[in-house]
């Protein structure tokens, strides 16, 4: 009887394994199919322009379309990244022609309007990243890329000098000097990735030095605080100037100190070290750990900490908010995990991993994430889970990857011009759904994540998100 019972359990377990495997194959096939459909639609620049400029596809309360021709976030450069991924694995479509037509569109815009924006997600650095992807490991567009690097280098040098002078005044700095989206972190990640480029290599050390400088304490309102403090008048919007009337500390991967921490750690782990770098990694790590909050689920990080906030005050807590790449615990712990490798700190590594898993589980259980995008949506969570699994092989991540993939695929609608729409809150009660291209908030990012996770191919393009 005991032997028969064991055989029955074995059969049940085998059956469960088969069902799981079939479900996984089904998810894989659907993810790949949808990713390719997105890529094919993005292959035609004219179709994309028409899709994102349809009559009602405007940001809430404005007549602005969610599009930027040369923006990695919302434009052709982001689309090129997905097209380049598909070229690596599929010879049934003319991906080279599609990539070239997108590059021609970028060139046409630059010829007419130009730009002095050097940032990763809206300027020259993002454009350069797309040309690197388009080059097929240096086979194509090498002269074009060299011209871009020649043009970028003096602009970056000038910009870095201005940022360094501002930091030396010890009054705080705007986040766009150091963050991932517009600042030194995103820009620096591209420099590290392309450190063999002769025009870019000399810029790496001064950029890292600028970020290290931000760990030097400054005096604000009678208190000693880190140099990355942002005073009220240097916030981007009037709303933020009002909300953070005494200034703030940004904790998001997109706009906060996790970006510099990730960059300094990635550089260190790659063998690039300058004086003060290791201490800066320690300082930023300790500050983030001292800024974490606790609830019944565990540790979490506020999106932004007002200057006047005192976590020691009873009954005064910054509540847990949406957990995403741009803001929230998953982005913070991704940076801390990278820092743990630099610091050779296994307890920090474990804390970062477990807190990451807990925060993603929380967001999945809450089931309120409306956006499918990388920036603040499901694709970002999925990409971070895949990277964290690749780094740690933690088994708890596997069901999360399946769950988020399933949820993301359910958002697919073939009747949408670019297969997905992104959520833009209009008010506390209503949401506006917009067609977006590009990597950060658009269809190209969703397609890139689906393909990379489904195929488990090298997703080293996630360096653009400070994840590798």
Which three-class secondary structure string do you get for the chain? CHHHHHHHHHHHHHHHHHHHHHHHHHHHHHHHHHHHHHHHHHCCHHHHHHHHCCCCCCCCCCCCCCCCCCCCCCCHHHHHHHHHHHHHHCCCCCHHHHHHHHHHHHHHHHHHHCCCCCCCCCCHHHHHHHHHHHCCCCCCCHHHHHHHHHHHHHHHHHHHHHHHHHHHCCCCCCHHHCCCCCCHHHHHHHHHHCCCCCCCHHHHHHHHHHHHHCCCCEEECCEEECCCCECHHHCCCHHHHHHCCCCEEECCCCCCCHHHHHHHHHHHHCCCCCCCHHHHHHHHHHHHHHHCEEECCEEECCCEEECCCCCCCCCCCCCCCCCCCCCCHHHHHHHHHHHHHHHCCHHHHHHHHHHHHHHHHHHHHHCCCCCCCCCCCHHHHHHHHHHHHHHHCCCCHHHHHHHHHHHHHHCCCCCCCCCCCEEEECCCCCEEEECCCCCCCCHHHHHHHHHHHHHCCCCHHHHHHCCC
Q: 375 among the known binding-site residues?
A: yes
- Written as six digits, the tokens of 73 are 């976030």
Which three-class secondary structure string do you get for 37-60? HHHHHHCCHHHHHHHHCCCCCCCC
d(CA 114, CA 93): 32
Query: Crossing angle, helix 443-455 and helix 2-42, to 10 degrees?
Result: 140
Q: 195 among the known binding-site residues?
A: no
**Measured CA angle at 337 (ends 257, 408), to 5 deg:** 90
Q: 376 among the known binding-site residues?
A: yes
* 152 CA to centre of own chain: 22
d(CA 320, CA 60): 26
Contact 444, 52 (CB under 8 A): no
Annotated binding site for Zn(2+): 326, 375-376
Enumerate the known binding-site residues: 326, 375-376
């Amino acid at each position: 009887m005991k032997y028969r019972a064991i055989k029955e359990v074995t059969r049940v377990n085998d059956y469960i394994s088969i069902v799981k495997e079939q479900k996984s194959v089904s998810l894989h096939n659907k993810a790949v199919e949808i990713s390719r459909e997105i890529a094919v639609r993005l292959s035609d620049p004219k179709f994309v322009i028409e899709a994102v400029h349809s009559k009602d596809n405007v940001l809430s309360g404005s007549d602005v379309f969610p599009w930027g021709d040369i923006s990695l976030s919302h434009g052709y450069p982001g689309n090129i990244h997905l097209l380049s991924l598909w070229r690596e694995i599929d010879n049934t479509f003319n991906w080279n022609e599609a990539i070239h037509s997108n590059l021609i569109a970028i060139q046409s815009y630059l010829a007419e309007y130009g730009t002095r924006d050097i940032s990763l997600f809206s300027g020259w650095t993002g454009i350069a990243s797309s040309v690197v992807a388009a080059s097929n490991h240096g086979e194509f567009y090498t002269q074009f890329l060299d011209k871009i690097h020649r043009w970028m280098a003096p602009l970056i040098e000038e910009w870095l000098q201005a940022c360094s002078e501002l930091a030396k005044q010890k009054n705080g700095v705007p986040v766009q000097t150091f963050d991932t989206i517009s600042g030194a972190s995103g820009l620096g990640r591209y420099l590290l990735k392309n450190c063999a480029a002769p025009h870019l290599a000399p810029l790496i050390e001064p950029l890292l030095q600028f970020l290290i400088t931000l760990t030097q304490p400054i005096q604000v309102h009678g208190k000693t605080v880190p140099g990355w403090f942002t005073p009220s008048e240097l916030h981007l919007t009037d709303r933020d100037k009002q909300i953070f009337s005494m200034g703030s500390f940004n904790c998001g991967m997109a706009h906060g100190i996790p970006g510099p921490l990730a960059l300094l750690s990635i550089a260190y782990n790659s063998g690039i070290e300058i004086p003060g770098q290791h201490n800066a990694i320690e300082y930023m790590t300790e500050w983030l750990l001292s800024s974490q909050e606790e609830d019944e689920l565990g540790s979490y990080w506020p999106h932004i900490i007002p200057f006047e906030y005192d976590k020691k005050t009873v009954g005064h807590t910054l509540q847990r908010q949406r957990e995403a790449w741009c803001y929230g615990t998953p982005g913070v712990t991704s940076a801390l995990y990278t820092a743990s490798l630099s610091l050779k700190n296994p307890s920090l590594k474990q804390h970062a991993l477990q807190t990451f898993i807990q925060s993603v589980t929380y967001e999945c259980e809450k089931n309120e994430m409306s956006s499918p995008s990388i920036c603040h949506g499901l694709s970002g969570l999925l990409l971070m889970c895949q990277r964290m699994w690749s780094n740690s092989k933690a088994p708890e991540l596997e069901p999360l990857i399946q769950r988020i993939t399933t949820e993301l695929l359910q958002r697919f609608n073939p009747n949408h011009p670019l297969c997905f729409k992104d959520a833009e809150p209009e008010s506390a009660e209503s949401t506006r759904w917009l067609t977006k291209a590009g990597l950060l908030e658009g269809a190209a990012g969703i397609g890139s994540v689906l393909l990379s996770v489904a195929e488990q191919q090298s997703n080293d393009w996630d360096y653009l998100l400070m994840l590798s």
